[in-house]
Structure 1
Amino acid sequence: MATEISQRSAKRVRLSANEAKGIFSETVTIVVGPQGNVFHVHEDLLRESSQFFDKAMGAGWKESQDRKITLPSDEPAIVALYVYWLYYGAIPMSPEVTFKSAKLDDLRHVKAWILVDKLIDTKFQNAVIHAILERVNTPTKNGTPINVSRGAVNYAFENTMKGASIRRLFVDSYCWNTERDVTSFWKTEEDIPHDFLVQAVKVLVKPPFLTAKLQASNYYVQNQEEKAKG
């Protein structure tokens, strides 16, 4: 037992040199939202993960000289999720799954995915996909499963482009996890995003889908290098 405990402790405190090197770089000031909330993040962590930050901090750019980047239209709470992930490799979620917490987490996840679509960080986008599926696959205390919230679906279809992998995930989640009529989750048919309906019809008419499974890797976003390797 003592050996087992010591091994778990060692696993928690040890970190590879490659993972730790980012925290020895200078910090960059990120100013977020209309109120100008400030985050100080190590440059190497930002540049290694995000193509947007890598370019912004490149030679010749004003942001590189000022060591300050402004994201005026983004939400500080969503940027905070991203910064937390950069340092800890995990996405914070509500401690207990309830209908209320599921709605909040789902919407935060969608907004985070959209944020880093702009920041061009496919690793974080794919981590968000895992977080969404983990949330969907975790029932409430009494065992009740909760699908992706309507609000999150609506937000995704209002703020992403056609073909976005998060759209496909939400459509598949409703088609796969729902025994009811998919349209019954909205108050009226007019409330359902049109593109969601179109995609759902295409999915449901394909018999192979009946044996499909929701796997995070099916909804990964690839960066340009990965696409080139094909």
Structure 2
Amino acid sequence: MTRNTSPRSVGNDPSRIPFPNLPPPYTFRGSRPTQRGNTSSYLTRANVSDFTTTSTILVGPQLTPFQIQTSLLTSKSSYFRAALTGHFAESSNNSITLDDVAVDDFQLLVTWLYEQAVPIPYKDRKPAYYTLLHVYALADRLGLEGARNAIIDTISDLADETNSVLTPSDTRILYEDIRESAPIRTLILDLFAFKKTDRLLELHAGLWHAEFLRDLTVHLKRPCAQAMQRHRLQDITKD
């Protein structure tokens, strides 16, 4: 699957490129036959309601409405599954309000729901890791495990393609808005340990989140061989 890597701005930047229209609802093709040539033995089949029933998600202070297939929400998210199928008011009126969620962040998750890919956000032609971190925190809150994994893959690929890492302010989002046990923390520490970030830490001294610096120090005490090679000391007396 090819990921779209065209630069685009996100957030409240007035110069941001308009977000593309959402794709049409996905088509459920059913499970594969249990035996070769047996076209009638599908394990599951689509119901009409899978394509016609939608839920309204009201997002942000302005309660921006998103109409999303209910079956898609309940199959991908433990949060929406509980809210829309349990004994809650949301299940009776098929509507959920998320007034403390940024519309742009939720829109990226909706794109993932339909395309199974996370659009890569850019700001001033640089990777907007902070947006991916915000979307990860939201995916974690809504129980979208697939989206969390996709964001981790996206950050890893983006760091390799652009030879970049998080900024000091990004580490504050990582440590203040994301739970301590989240796998994304381990990924970020690995990226800093693997890449030659000595100069970066030196130039931005004092701006990093204190717990991030502590965890990175502990992580570097047991680095992999590749990290040791990248951070090797050079004998400047030979120059």
**Residues 159 and 179 of structure 1: CA distance in aligned 2, closer, same or farther (over 3 Å):** closer
**Structure 2: segments with no counterpart, 5+ residues:** 1-25, 32-44, 228-239
- Distance in 1, matches of 2:133 and 2:197, equals 24
> 1:210 aligns to what?
225
**Residues 44 and 25 of structure 1: CA distance in aligned 2, closer, same or farther (over 3 Å):** farther
**Residues 67 and 89 of structure 1: CA distance in aligned 2, closer, same or farther (over 3 Å):** same
Does structure 2 conserve the Cα–Cα contact (< 8 Å) formed by 1:84 and 1:90? yes
> 2:136 aligns to what?
113
> 1:9 aligns to what?
none
- Distance in 2, matches of 1:76 and 1:199, equals 32
1:82-102 deviation per Cα after TM superposition (whole angstroms, max 9, x unaligned): 1111111111125xx7x7333
**Residues 40 and 84 of structure 1: CA distance in aligned 2, closer, same or farther (over 3 Å):** same
> 1:57 aligns to what?
84
State the Cα distance separating 1:123 from its structure 2 match. 1.0
- Distance in 1, matches of 2:154 and 2:50, equals 25
State the Cα distance separating 1:122 from its structure 2 match. 1.0
State the Cα distance separating 1:179 from its structure 2 match. 4.5
Provide the aligned C-alpha RMSD in A.
2.4
State the Cα distance separating 1:160 from its structure 2 match. 1.6
**Residues 192 and 56 of structure 1: CA distance in aligned 2, closer, same or farther (over 3 Å):** same
1:83-102 correspondence runs (5 A)? 83-94=110-121, 100-102=124-126
- Distance in 1, matches of 2:193 and 2:174, equals 17
1:40 matched to 2:56? The reply is no
State the Cα distance separating 1:202 from its structure 2 match. 1.1
**Residues 43 and 152 of structure 1: CA distance in aligned 2, closer, same or farther (over 3 Å):** same
- Distance in 2, matches of 1:84 and 1:117, equals 16
- Distance in 1, matches of 2:130 and 2:197, equals 23
**Residues 56 and 122 of structure 1: CA distance in aligned 2, closer, same or farther (over 3 Å):** same
AA matched with 2:88? W
- Distance in 1, matches of 2:201 and 2:85, equals 48
Q: More helix per residue: 1 or 2? A: 1
**Structure 1: segments with no counterpart, 5+ residues:** 1-13, 140-144, 213-230
Q: Which of 199, 209, 226 pairs up with 1:193?
A: 209
> 1:127 aligns to what?
150
1:26-57 deviation per Cα after TM superposition (whole angstroms, max 9, x unaligned): 10000001111111000011000000000001
> 2:29 aligns to what?
17
> 2:4 aligns to what?
none
State the Cα distance separating 1:185 from its structure 2 match. 4.8
Q: Which of 151, 159, 174 pairs up with 1:136?
A: 159
1:147 matched to 2:174? The reply is no
SS of match in other structure, 2:198:
coil
Deviant stretches of 4+, over 4 Å: 19-23
TM-score by length of 2: 0.71
What is the count of residue pairs matched by the alignment? Answer: 187
**Residues 158 and 16 of structure 1: CA distance in aligned 2, closer, same or farther (over 3 Å):** same
- Distance in 1, matches of 2:28 and 2:80, equals 24
**Residues 78 and 18 of structure 1: CA distance in aligned 2, closer, same or farther (over 3 Å):** farther
> 2:187 aligns to what?
169
- Distance in 2, matches of 1:206 and 1:69, equals 46
Bigger Cα Rg: 2
- Distance in 1, matches of 2:178 and 2:208, equals 15
State the Cα distance separating 1:134 from its structure 2 match. 1.6
